[in-house]
């Protein structure tokens, strides 16, 4: 083949890729060496001495011994810089299991990744309590099967799936108010809202002018805006212009009104945007970014040693919008936040660009709002930004408050409220616990602030400690959302579950304790926790909360009403163990609207209604009404049956739809 290739002095792009992949393989080969487990099941064999990890932990003062062993045993997996696990929680770890009949103390909300759903998980038991369909359809919840939710999905773009990444709880005064959960769809550039009274999705916004909303957060301390980061740069507007001119592509930062779920404004930036968080004063939104090169391939995107965090001055952007300093694109005011825009050339730039190493991933703002923590991804450091200095100093160097060296592949940082930060290390497959104040006082690249490293299994992305996104984290438990589970569970074919690992985190410096592995269906990205007292879920529906114009159908209201030459309205109540009408007759070709009210007042008695041949399954909670509209296009007899096991006569809970041939 080589002899057929014309000689050229141009570098061969394939060779660049090969070299890059070889480097990556070398790195990963080191990482893929066996990683010790933090339990008794893996032992160290050293000079005939068989010591379990627990033995090492139990022996007080053996941390130094363990460190010494690490240097010459298979404990060292990545680059020789690793420390062994050195958990010693003084036997203070409480049981994470919740006895039968008792309740978890915290709600966890997991994003479901490309399943498109939110999962509700109890903490500390890690029991999955419920799933909330958001961007996906779901028969068990009747979501995408009744008129209201079908319209919601259609208005949200009509896609059949989403890639949901970052769940965020609405805040009032810096704490969760229990009203809403919001989440982004990276795939289709959408943002959805879940009503936490009913644990149901009630709004989906298809964000204009962006492909991929990746970073997403709510504004602190009060959720007056939702912020979404457009990750993939595209022409603006993306209408066929500038197809192969990447230097003309744009990434946009989007502000959304959480009540109306409509876009307020967008800001165009240089480079791209990745993760975002806000300060605790309603002033700054701080976004990481990894492609300042504005390249379209991996070697181009990772070429430079510096990228730029973008800090958005929200009140000043609002002023620019109010003053008409924007271009309207697809109905949205788009403000120019590029470095050379007039709005950024003034003494009070609307977007500040802070150089940060290298292709950084996360931004998380600490609980007291002093610092934003930017994990280096391709740099083994976390850069701490002094948020107050964003306003007081024009020198980007003054904004950097600290830069500890935490380990390989830092992605996300979480907080326990006791002055500690915990950073996930994707390549090292570890979590690094470190001292925030010590990192401010230490030199750049110092490892001295590191208190403890703990192996996780394997390759963590997000980590979250309890209520870490509030101004008053609860500490105690931390979840590491590990992308790979490899050997931790029974094999289930080549696609493995993720592994969500629960840690107890105590008050002390070395206090992490792994307590449980939990397989997670592919693939959660992030989670957020709220104490159960902060939520007030309804036990039954309040008909005044119905979405849309739906009646409450009593047994007396049940019946068939012909509403037009080719339309009928069937109304039916549902209670144990019968529908309000045992059968109903329509004509071939009729548009049938079935309105079903569950008149039960007893919590947890759900009635369903499967309408075979029309792809419909309603799930109707007590006091709720659902509606489905379809065309009865084939004559015949069709049983409508209850799909929720509601009583001993559940199988008998049926109605017949008789579709009479039209002459």
Shortest distance, position 586 Cβ to ligand CUA, whole Å: 22
- From candidates 37, 339, 486, 650, binder to ligand CUA by CB under 6 A: 650
Question: Please, which residue, 68 or 582, has the CB nearer to ligand CUA?
Answer: 582
Which residue in 646, 655, 657, 659 binds ligand CUA (CB under 6 A)?
Answer: 646
| Among 227, 371, 422, 644, contact with ligand CUA (rule: CB under 6 A) | 644
Cβ density class 368-391: b for 16+ within 10 Å, e for less: ebbbbbbbbbbbbbbbbbbbbbbe
CB of 654 to ligand CUA, least distance (A): 9
Using the contact rule CB under 6 A, the part of the chain among 299-307, 415-423, 498-506, 637-645 near ligand CUA is 637-645
- Cβ atoms 151, 143 nearer than 8 A: no
Neighbours of 8 (CB within 10 A): 7
Phi-psi region of 539 (alpha: psi -120 to 50; beta: other; left: phi over 0): alpha
Identified binder of ligand CUA from the candidate list 645, 656, 661, 662, rule CB under 6 A: 645
The CA distance from 267 to 272, in Å, is: 12
**Residue 15: CB partners within 8 Å, gap ≥ 6?**
none
Pick between residue 344 and residue 643 the one whose CB is nearest to ligand CUA: 643
Report the C-alpha gap between 597 and 377 in whole angstroms: 52
- In the complex with ligand CUA, the residue whose CB is nearer, 415 or 541, is 541
Binding positions for ligand CUA, 572-631, rule CB under 6 A:
577, 607
Using CB under 6 A, pick the residue from 44, 286, 642, 659 that binds ligand CUA.
Answer: 642
Q: Is residue 653 near ligand CUA by the rule CB under 6 A?
A: yes
State how far the Cα of 363 lies from the Cα of 399, in Å rounded to an integer.
15
Q: How far apart are CA 3 and CA 5, in angstroms?
A: 5
Question: Which stretch, 22-30, 213-221, 524-532, 645-653, contacts ligand CUA (CB under 6 A)?
Answer: 645-653
Distance, in Å, from the CA atom of 99 to the CA atom of 633, rounded to the nearest integer, reads: 52
# chain residues binding ligand CUA, by CB under 6 A: 8
Site map for ligand CUA, 458-487, x if CB under 6 A?
A: ------------------------------
Q: How far is the CB of 652 from ligand CUA (least distance, A)?
A: 9
User: Within 10 A of 157 (CB to CB), how many other CB atoms are there?
Assistant: 16
Closest to ligand CUA by CB, 213 or 640: 640
Contacts of 487 (CB under 8 A, 6+ apart): none
Q: Is 230 helix (H, G, I), strand (E, B) or coil?
A: strand
**Window of 110-118, 259-267, 412-420, 646-654 that interacts with ligand CUA by CB under 6 A:** 646-654
Measured CA to CA, the distance from residue 427 to residue 408 in angstroms comes to 5
User: Stretches 281-289, 312-320, 532-540, 638-646: which one binds ligand CUA (CB under 6 A)?
Assistant: 638-646
Nearer to ligand CUA, 17 or 649 (CB): 649
Q: How far is the CB of 645 from ligand CUA (least distance, A)?
A: 6
**Residue nearer to ligand CUA on the CB measure, 57 or 596:** 596
Instruction: Kindly state the helix (H) or strand (E) to which residue 374 belongs, with its residue range.
Output: strand 371-375
Give the H or E element holding residue 390.
helix 389-392
Q: Which region, judged by CB under 6 A, interacts with ligand CUA, from 196-204, 518-526, 623-631, 642-650? A: 642-650
Are 87 and 512 a contacting pair, CB within 8 Å? Answer: yes
> What does the binding site for ligand CUA look like in residue numbers (CB under 6 A)?
577, 607, 642, 644-646, 650, 653
């Amino acid at each position: 083949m080589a002899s057929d290739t014309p000689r050229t002095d141009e570098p061969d792009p394939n060779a660049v890729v090969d070299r890059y992949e070889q480097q990556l393989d070398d790195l990963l080969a080191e990482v893929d060496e066996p990683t010790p487990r933090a339990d008794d099941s893996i032992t160290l064999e050293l000079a005939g001495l068989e010591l379990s990890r627990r033995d090492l932990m139990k022996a007080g003062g053996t941390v130094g011994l363990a460190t010494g062993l690490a240097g010459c045993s298979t404990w060292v997996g990545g680059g020789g810089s690793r420390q062994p696990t050195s958990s010693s929680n003084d036997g203070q770890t409480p049981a994470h299991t919740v006895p039968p009949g008792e309740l978890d103390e915290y709600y966890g909300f997991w994003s479901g990744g490309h399943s498109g759903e939110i999962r509700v998980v109890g903490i500390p038991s890690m029991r999955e309590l419920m799933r909330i369909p958001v961007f996906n359809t779901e028969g068990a919840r009747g979501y995408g099967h009744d008129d209201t939710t079908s319209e919601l999905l259609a208005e949200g773009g009509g896609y059949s799936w989403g890639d949901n990444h970052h769940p965020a709880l609405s805040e009032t005064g810096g704490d969760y108010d229990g009203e809403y959960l919001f989440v982004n769809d990276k795939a289709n550039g959408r943002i959805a809202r879940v009503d936490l009274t009913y644990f149901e999705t009630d709004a989906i916004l298809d964000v204009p002018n962006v492909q991929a909303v990746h970073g997403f957060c709510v504004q602190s301390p009060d959720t007056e805006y939702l912020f979404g980061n457009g990750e993939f740069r595209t022409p603006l507007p993306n209408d066929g212009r500038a197809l192969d001119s990447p230097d003309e592509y744009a990434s946009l930062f989007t502000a959304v009104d959480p009540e109306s779920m409509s876009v307020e404004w967008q800001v165009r930036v240089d480079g791209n945007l990745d993760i975002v968080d806000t300060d605790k004063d309603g002033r700054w939104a701080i976004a990481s970014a990894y492609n300042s090169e504005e390249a379209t391939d991996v070697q181009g995107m990772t070429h430079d040693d510096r990228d730029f965090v973008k800090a958005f001055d929200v009140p000043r952007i609002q002023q620019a919008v109010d003053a008409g300093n924007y271009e309207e694109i697809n109905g949205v005011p788009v403000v120019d936040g590029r470095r050379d825009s007039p709005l950024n050339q003034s003494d009070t730039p609307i977007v500040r660009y802070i150089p940060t190493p290298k292709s950084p991933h996360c931004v998380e703002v600490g609980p007291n709002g002093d610092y934003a923590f930017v994990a280096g991804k391709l740099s083994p450091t976390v850069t701490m930004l002094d948020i107050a200095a964003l306003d007081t100093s024009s020198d980007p160097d003054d904004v950097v408050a600290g830069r500890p060296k935490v380990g390989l592949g830092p992605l996300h940082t979480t907080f326990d409220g006791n002055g500690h930060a915990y950073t996930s290390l994707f390549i090292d497959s570890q979590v690094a616990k470190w001292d925030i104040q010590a990192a401010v006082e230490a030199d750049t690249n110092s490892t001295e602030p590191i208190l403890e490293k703990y192996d996780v299994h394997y390759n963590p992305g997000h980590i979250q400690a309890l209520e870490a996104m509030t101004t008053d984290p609860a500490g105690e438990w931390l979840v590491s959302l590990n992308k790979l589970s490899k050997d931790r569970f029974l094999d289930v074919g080549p696609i493995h579950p993720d592994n969500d690992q629960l840690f107890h985190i105590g008050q002390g410096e070395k206090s992490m304790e792994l307590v449980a592995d939990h397989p997670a269906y592919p693939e959660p990205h992030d989670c957020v926790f709220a104490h159960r007292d902060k939520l007030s879920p309804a036990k039954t529906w309040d008909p005044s909360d119905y979405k849309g114009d739906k009646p409450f159908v009593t047994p007396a209201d049940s019946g068939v009403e012909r509403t037009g030459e080719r339309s009928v309205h069937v109304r039916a109540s549902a209670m144990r163990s019968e529908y309000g009408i045992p059968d109903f007759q329509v004509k071939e070709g009729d548009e049938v609207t079935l309105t079903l009210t569950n008149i039960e007042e007893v919590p947890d008695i759900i009635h369903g209604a499967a309408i075979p041949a029309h792809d419909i399954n309603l799930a109707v909670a007590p006091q709720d009404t659902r509606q489905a509209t379809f065309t009865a296009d084939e004559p015949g007899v069709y049983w409508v049956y209850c799909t929720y096991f509601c009583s001993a006569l559940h199988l008998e809970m049926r109605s017949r739809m008789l579709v009479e041939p039209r002459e």
